[in-house]
């Protein structure tokens, strides 16, 4: 993202005073040097605040007391973006912002609220080309894997004083768990291993998989319902035969499918309309009623007999099945105990143990016990054989009697039907046929339900189509290729880090270094082959050097991608602190005399800072001026003496500071 800082502006509460404006060059290393407590470090916090930070980190005191609005003028490729944010007062932040975007923005006009933080962040997301999709769309709650934000890009553009030489944290705000975890998910995207099209495919895949899961569950539910109805249909088939509605239907076969039952049940006529009335002889109704009553009693008696014999048959068949299982179990036990007789023959009562020399009387007792058990099992097996024959005969007799009863009920029903006649519509007749009509109603509803549950051909076709789409998209996403792209990007950045290290004041610049994305730090391999994390290496100069090399390498990689959401500026605060922790020599309160700088021009500390400026100026040149670097430091011009491409923005000493004296 071609976004660089043209100016930082402070608008005073006293509107009669002009704004404070600090200008920067876009294609150079901009250095602002000065004493402590002049407001230098506030510049980084101002830029971060105007880019929508969640908290105002601008130091309280004179800066916030005198300033009403903080603003930053950004330069893009063909236009400018002005962002200003109001001083929050007693609050930690305010969402009141001013946003202006034009080919050239007038910054002299006093800011007024035109937007809020959310609107500014959304616009920055658009300008950066950030996706509107989550990094991991298949999660129910994306959390840290949610959509990347422009705010996440701050990790690569700011190196405040507490980060630049921090052995435990390389990236801005990665010293907090929330930002650290979010950065781990964002890294593959900013490194170019994942792009918007890839995220769109992952989102489409997630949506398709959810739809596929939903439809699969629906299909399974229909099939389970169909299985339930299939059991009921088999019961209806038996009831229909008992009621005489399926007189020509065959006995159900073991291999029958649901369709076989349905084929016969659908032949039952559901609409049984009343037949026209006929004249009856005097007393015929009474006689018919008496005969019908006798037939119903006989029918009920036979029906009860059928029920009893059916229950008896069921229990006999269950007993036969259990007997068969028991017989099998006994057979297994017989096989296991068959060697017992052989052992009894081989073990003598006076046998001696070859190890201890004692007689083997205990073995004889145990073998005899096993032989006794085997004989008992043999007797049980013989009894089981007899019982099986009895059960078989009893089952056959029960079936025969059940068949006789079923024939009897058919005869009784035929007689009753003949007596009822075509015109009989008495109450007794209605009661007798209640069961029949109820059965027909339940059957009709069951057939409709089966038909509805059975119609999942279209659903199955939809599932097959979804499965084809899922397979196609998975082949396009290819997690293996994604991992390879990420590893290639890591290797490229690692190689760039190694290229920058030799010109920095690092103790062992030739030791192999590796960017560890899992821990968001660096691994350095020693000559002995040991790998050390950054925090395991001593010296603030080493930590600062590795930080700078990493950020420069990443920025060069981002620029090489052609399209990156990371802004093309880098703000570094107090890199010289590792050499001059108590202030720049000559500043008030510094431990050295005012002329100490000129005396120490060739000191190791001055040379260390000089190497830093040499490296960053060479980096800007290497990237053809597409990267803007802003350095805020105590160090004075002596540390970059003789270097090209360095612009001194200001020298805040002798009373000069961020807040003008006349404010």
Task: Give the pLDDT score at 514.
Answer: 93
Q: Identify whether the C-beta of residue 151 lies closer than 8 Å to the C-beta of residue 134.
A: no
Q: Give the list of residues 6+ apart from residue 234 with CB closer than 8 angstroms, or none.
A: 252, 261
Residues 52, 84: Cα–Cα separation, whole Å? 10
Lowest-confidence region among 176-190, 301-315, 388-402: 388-402
Number of helices (H), then strands (E), belonging to the chain: the values are: 17, 13
H/E element holding 74? strand 67-75
Residue 536: band (very low, low, confident or very high) from pLDDT cuts 50, 70, 90: very high
H/E element holding 524? strand 521-525
* pLDDT(170) > 90: yes
Tokens at 142, concatenated: 């994306």
Residues in the chain: 663
Phi (first) and psi of residue 513, to 5 degrees: -125, 150
478-493 tens-digit pLDDT = 778 888 989 999 999 9
Are β-strands 569-573 and 531-533 bridged in parallel, bridged antiparallel, or unpaired?
unpaired
Residues 372, 649: Cα–Cα separation, whole Å? 109
400, 404, 409, 410: CA torsion to nearest 10: 100
402, 403, 406, 407: CA torsion to nearest 10: -140
Residue 52: band (very low, low, confident or very high) from pLDDT cuts 50, 70, 90: very high
The separation between CA 90 and the C-alpha centre of its own chain, rounded to angstroms, equals 41
Q: Name the residue among 528, 531, 546, 536 with its Cα closest to residue 612.
A: 546
Compute the mean pLDDT over every residue in the chain, rounded to the nearest whole number: 83
Q: Considering only residues 158 and 371, tell me which one the structure prediction assigns the higher pLDDT.
A: 158
Give how far Cα 457 sits from Cα of 454, 461, 471, Å.
8, 6, 21
3-state secondary structure 440-469: HHHHHHHHHHHHHHHCCHHHHHHHHHHHHH
Tokens at 267, concatenated: 């032949």
Task: Give the pLDDT score at 359.
Answer: 64
Residues 184, 164: Cα–Cα separation, whole Å? 20
410-422 tens-digit pLDDT = 777 766 675 665 3
Show me where the domains of the chain are located.
4-132+149-167+478-652, 190-268+433-475, 282-432
Beta strand residue intervals within 273-427, DSSP E: none
Residues 65, 635: Cα–Cα separation, whole Å? 28
Residues 44, 159: Cα–Cα separation, whole Å? 9
Task: Give the pLDDT score at 452.
Answer: 67
Conformation bin of residue 421: beta by default, left when phi > 0, alpha when psi is -120 to 50? left
Residue 138: band (very low, low, confident or very high) from pLDDT cuts 50, 70, 90: low
Tokens at 154, concatenated: 């701050």
Strand partners, 647: 30
Q: Give the list of residues 6+ apart from residue 501 with CB closer than 8 angstroms, or none.
A: 509, 510, 513, 545, 546, 549
With 0.75 as the threshold, say if the pTM is over it.
no
Task: Give the pLDDT score at 176.
Answer: 86
Task: Give the pLDDT score at 271.
Answer: 62
Percent of the chain topping pLDDT 90: 41
Q: Would 4-132+149-167+478-652 and 282-432 be classified into the same CATH topology? A: no
CATH architecture of the domain with range 282-432: Orthogonal Bundle (1.10)
Most confident of 224-238, 252-266, 568-582: 568-582
Residues 338, 381: Cα–Cα separation, whole Å? 14
Sign of the alpha-carbon dihedral angle for 289, 295, 299, 301:
positive
Conformation bin of residue 159: beta by default, left when phi > 0, alpha when psi is -120 to 50? beta
Q: Considering only residues 5 and 585, tell me which one the structure prediction assigns the higher pLDDT.
A: 5
* pLDDT(275) > 60: no
Ordered strands of the 628-633 beta sheet: 158-159, 569-573, 628-633, 29-34, 646-652
Phi (first) and psi of residue 564, to 5 degrees: -140, 145
Residues 373, 534: Cα–Cα separation, whole Å? 77
276-316 tens-digit pLDDT = 333 434 554 565 567 668 778 888 888 888 888 888 888 88
Tokens at 181, concatenated: 């975890």
The separation between CA 383 and the C-alpha centre of its own chain, rounded to angstroms, equals 64
Q: Identify whether the C-beta of residue 12 lies closer than 8 Å to the C-beta of residue 67.
A: yes
Which CATH number does 4-132+149-167+478-652 carry?
3.40.50.300
541-599 tens-digit pLDDT = 999 999 999 999 999 999 999 889 999 999 999 999 998 876 677 676 665 544 555 55
Residues 66, 61: Cα–Cα separation, whole Å? 9
Residues 363, 340: Cα–Cα separation, whole Å? 12
> What per-residue string of b and e applies to 330-364 under the rule 16 or more CB within 10 Å gives b?
beebeeebeebeeeeeebeeeeeeeeeeeebeeeb
* pLDDT(633) > 70: yes
Beta strand residue intervals within 390-495, DSSP E: none
* pLDDT(116) > 90: yes
Residue 269: band (very low, low, confident or very high) from pLDDT cuts 50, 70, 90: confident
CA angle 565, 571, 575 (to 5 degrees): 140
Phi (first) and psi of residue 325, to 5 degrees: -65, -40
Strand partners, 22: 8
Task: Give the pLDDT score at 141.
Answer: 52
> What per-residue string of b and e applies to 109-119 under the rule 16 or more CB within 10 Å gives b?
eebeeebbbee
Residue 218: band (very low, low, confident or very high) from pLDDT cuts 50, 70, 90: confident
CA angle 589, 593, 598 (to 5 degrees): 125
* pLDDT(216) > 70: yes
* Mean pLDDT across 81-88: 96
Residues 629, 26: Cα–Cα separation, whole Å? 8
Strand partners, 596: none
* pLDDT(203) > 80: no
């Amino acid at each position: 993202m071609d976004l660089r800082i043209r100016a930082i502006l402070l608008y005073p509460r006293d509107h009669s005073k002009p704004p404070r404006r600090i200008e920067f060059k876009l294609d150079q290393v901009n250095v602002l040097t000065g004493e402590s407590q002049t407001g230098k470090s506030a510049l980084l916090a101002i830029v971060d605040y105007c880019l929508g930070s969640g908290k105002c980190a601008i130091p309280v005191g004179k800066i916030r007391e005198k300033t009403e609005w903080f603003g930053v003028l950004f330069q893009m490729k063909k236009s400018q973006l002005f962002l200003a944010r109001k001083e929050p007062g007693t609050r930690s932040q305010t969402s009141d912002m001013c946003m202006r975007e034009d080919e050239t923005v007038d910054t002299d006009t006093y800011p007024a609220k035109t937007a809020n933080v959310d609107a500014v962040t959304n616009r920055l997301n658009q300008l950066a080309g950030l996706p509107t999709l989550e990094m991991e769309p298949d999660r129910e709650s994306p959390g840290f894997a949610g959509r990347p934000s422009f705010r996440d890009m701050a990790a690569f553009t700011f190196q405040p004083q507490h980060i630049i030489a921090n052995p435990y944290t390389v990236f801005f705000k990665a010293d907090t768990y929330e930002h650290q975890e979010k950065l781990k998910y964002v890294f593959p995207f900013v490194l170019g291993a994942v792009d918007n099209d890839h995220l769109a495919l992952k989102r489409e895949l997630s949506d398709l998989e959810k739809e596929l899961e939903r439809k699969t569950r629906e299909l399974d539910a229909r099939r389970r319902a169909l299985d339930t109805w299939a059991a009921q249909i088999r019961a209806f088939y038996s009831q229909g035969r008992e009621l005489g509605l399926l007189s020509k239907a065959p006995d159900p076969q073991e291999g029958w499918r649901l369709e076989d039952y349905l084929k016969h049940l659908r032949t039952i006529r559901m609409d049984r309309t009343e037949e026209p009335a006929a004249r009856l002889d005097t007393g015929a109704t009474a006689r018919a009623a008496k005969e019908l009553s006798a037939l119903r009693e006989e029918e009920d008696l036979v029906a009860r007999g059928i029920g009893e014999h059916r229950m008896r048959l069921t229990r006999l068949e269950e007993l036969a099945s259990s007997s068969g299982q028991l017989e099998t179990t006994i057979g297994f036990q017989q096989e296991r105990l068959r060697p017992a007789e052989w052992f009894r023959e081989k073990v003598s009562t006076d046998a001696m143990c070859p190890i201890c020399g004692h007689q083997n009387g205990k073995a004889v007792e145990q073998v005899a016990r096993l032989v006794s058990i085997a004989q008992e099992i043999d007797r049980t097996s013989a009894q089981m054989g007899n019982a099986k024959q009895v059960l078989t005969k009893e089952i056959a007799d029960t079936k025969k009697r059940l068949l006789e009863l079923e024939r009897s009920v058919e005869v009784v029903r035929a007689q009753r039907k003949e007596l009822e006649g075509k015109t009989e519509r008495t109450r007794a007749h209605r009661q007798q046929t209640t069961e029949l009509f109820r059965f027909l109603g339940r059957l009709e509803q069951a057939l409709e339900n089966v038909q509805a549950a059975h119609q999942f051909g279209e659903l199955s076709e939809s599932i097959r189509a979804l499965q084809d789409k899922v397979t196609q998209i998975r082949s396009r996403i290819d997690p293996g290729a994604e991992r390879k792209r990420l590893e290639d990007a890591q290797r490229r950045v690692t190689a760039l880090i190694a290229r920058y290290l030799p010109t920095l004041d690092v103790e062992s610049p030739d030791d192999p270094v590796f960017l560890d994305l899992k821990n968001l730090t660096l691994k350095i391999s020693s000559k002995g082959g040991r790998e050390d994390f950054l925090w395991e290496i001593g010296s603030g100069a080493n930590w600062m050097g590795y930080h700078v090399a990493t950020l420069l390498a990443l920025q060069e990689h981002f620029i090489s991608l052609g399209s990156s959401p990371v802004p093309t500026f880098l703000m570094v605060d107090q890199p010289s602190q590792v050499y001059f922790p108590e202030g720049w020599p000559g500043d008030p309160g510094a431990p050295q005399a005012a002329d100490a700088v000129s005396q120490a021009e060739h000191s190791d500390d001055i040379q260390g800072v000089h190497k830093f400026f040499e490296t960053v100026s060479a980096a800007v040149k290497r990237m053809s001026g597409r990267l803007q670097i802003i350095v805020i430091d105590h160090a004075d011009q002596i540390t970059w003496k003789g270097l090209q491409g360095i612009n001194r923005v200001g020298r805040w000493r002798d009373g000069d500071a961020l807040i003008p004296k006349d404010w």
